[in-house]
Amino acid sequence: MTLKLGVIGTGWISRAFVDAALSTKRYTFSAVFSRSLASGITFTEDFEDIAVFDQFSEFINSDLDVIYIASPNALHFEHAKAAISAGKHVIVEKPAFSNPKELETIITHAAQMKVLFFEAARNLHEKSFDIIRDFLADKTVVGADFTYAKYSSKMPALLAGDLPNKFNPKFSGGLLADLGVYLLYAALAFFGKPKYAHYDANLLESGVDVSGVGVLVYDDFKVALKTGGNYNSFLPCEIYTTTGTLILDAVNAISSARFVSLDGSSQTLAIQALDDNMREEALDFAEVIDNPTDCHYFEEYEAWLSLAINVSETSYAMRESAGIKFDADQN
């Protein structure tokens, strides 16, 4: 039986997830919600027999198994809570929620309603990610430098005097809550939760960050994180060990990895990224939903929740250190 998928949001990332989910043959695209009916109709032009809703209550009470949520960050919480209350599984685009309190509430609510919540941090589900993690298993890490910076399509509007959602505290914006999530997921998946974290941010007048440099402090080493939406970076990501340096082309959609030993010799890891880098997460979510009593999948799901909590708490601590406050933090 395939899962009936509903989607909240009609941006490019929603379309990418729908295509990825359909490629697994585990989902059928059934419905979309948009505040603009015209936008919803346009979104479904390439598909047949898709229900389009502009009334949220009608959408969440329709015949759906799982709902993918890609509304603005600050709306994720109310959308997820309502969907869970209606008995639907939810996949929430990263960052799932504005702060750890919202995340805790949703995890508890999902457990009470006997449905599942997933944060769509896609790099966690890439097979290449597992290869990196396995390679590091017998290594002693002494530090790392991770960078993810990409000139935002919203920068021209910001420079013209507008305030896009991406840079608006009302919508829980900023780069740490965008590209920075990939960096945090990679660091915490590879190295665990840090003792403490700090973020030196370049703040906009709105109060959120357009770029910044973070530091994660562990017992025996530190990890530097750099992110930005006002420039492009082509730097590799590096993990330093007592025997050499692992060089990655990225921390998400990883397509190449090379270990250079201290003696100068090198080893290339057998990694090949998929053309569709959301397919692996969509397949993982379907496996867990379809096997609710399987101990293996339950343990995997619990590990994802634990990591999501650690990432959320670390991100929040970094925001606090930089003086970044979202409107949602006041609720």
**Three-state secondary structure string covering 253-280:** CCCCEEEEECCCCEEECCCCCCCCCCHH
In the prediction, which pLDDT does 21 show?
Answer: 97
Assess whether pLDDT exceeds 80 at residue 96.
yes
Residues 130 and 254 placed together within one structural domain of the fold: yes
- The SS3 call for residue 176 is coil
Place of tokens 């998946």: 189
44 within 8 A of 69, measured Cβ to Cβ: no
In the prediction, which pLDDT does 61 show?
Answer: 94
Chain center to CA of 196: 21
Residues 77 and 150 placed together within one structural domain of the fold: no
In the prediction, which pLDDT does 36 show?
Answer: 92
Least confident interval from 112-121, 170-179, 287-296: 287-296
Q: Calculate the average pLDDT of the chain.
A: 96
- The SS3 call for residue 225 is strand
Residues 98 and 136 placed together within one structural domain of the fold: no
Residues 173 and 102 placed together within one structural domain of the fold: no
Assess whether pLDDT exceeds 90 at residue 3.
yes
Mean pLDDT, to the nearest integer, of 178-188?
A: 97
User: Residue 4 is inside which H or E element, if any?
Assistant: strand 3-8
Residues 71 and 185 placed together within one structural domain of the fold: no
- From 97, 120, 143, the end of a domain falls on 120
Chain center to CA of 61: 26
Domain of residue 47, residue span: 3-120
Contacts of 243-250 spanning 24+ positions with Cβ under 8 A: 243/139, 243/140, 246/132, 246/135, 246/136, 246/139, 248/132, 250/148
In the prediction, which pLDDT does 301 show?
Answer: 96
What is the C-alpha separation between 274 and 232, in angstroms, rounded? 23
Domain count, the chain: 2
Assess whether pLDDT exceeds 90 at residue 274.
no
Cis peptide bond prior to 292, omega within 30° of 0: no
Assess whether pLDDT exceeds 80 at residue 275.
no
What is the C-alpha separation between 233 and 68, in angstroms, rounded? 30
Residues 135-178 have pLDDT tens digits of 999 999 999 999 999 999 999 999 999 999 999 999 999 999 99
In a domain, residue 217? The reply is yes
Question: Beta strand 209-217 with 244-248: parallel, antiparallel or unpaired?
Answer: unpaired
In the prediction, which pLDDT does 112 show?
Answer: 97
In a domain, residue 89? The reply is yes
- Predicted TM-score (pTM) of the model is 0.95
> In the chain, pLDDT over 70 holds for what percent of residues?
100
In a domain, residue 296? The reply is no
CATH number of the domain where residue 214 is located: 3.30.360.10
- From 102, 120, 138, the end of a domain falls on 120
CATH number of the domain where residue 44 is located: 3.40.50.720
In a domain, residue 298? The reply is no
What is the maximum alpha-carbon separation in the chain?
64
Residues 91 and 196 placed together within one structural domain of the fold: no
Residues 105 and 178 placed together within one structural domain of the fold: no
What is the C-alpha separation between 23 and 278, in angstroms, rounded? 10
What is the C-alpha separation between 196 and 217, in angstroms, rounded? 6
In the prediction, which pLDDT does 292 show?
Answer: 84
Residues 24 and 59 placed together within one structural domain of the fold: yes
In a domain, residue 60? The reply is yes
What is the C-alpha separation between 206 and 123, in angstroms, rounded? 29
- From 101, 120, 139, the end of a domain falls on 120
Residues 103 and 195 placed together within one structural domain of the fold: no
